[in-house]
Amino acid sequence: MNGTTLLGISAFYHDSAACLVRDGEVTIDANKKLLDLNTREKVILAAILVFIVWIGVHPTTFLDVSENSVRMVLTRLGGG
């Protein structure tokens, strides 16, 4: 059975990067020094996940805010 090779490509922000991983090991020494998410990124990710779950569990919190605007647009378009 052949090993697994993964090429990770990132093009976010103004930096671009690529990382080659073969059988779970990073193959380029320069990429071994890269860190995972820092604390700021983890906090932002957690906040986004809370927001996503909140929208899924209680969508009316967000839909009620736009209800009047949607009704006005539908009325102007002749659909409401």
Q: Domain spans of the chain?
A: 1-34, 36-80
pLDDT of residue 43: 92
Instruction: Tell me the C-alpha distance between 5 and 20, whole Å.
Output: 7
Instruction: Tell me the C-alpha distance between 76 and 40, whole Å.
Output: 45
pLDDT of residue 1: 45
Amino acid, single-letter form, for residue 19? C
Give 5's strand partners: 22
pLDDT tens across the length of the chain (80 residues): 467 777 777 776 666 677 777 776 777 777 667 677 788 888 999 999 999 999 999 999 888 998 999 999 999 998 65
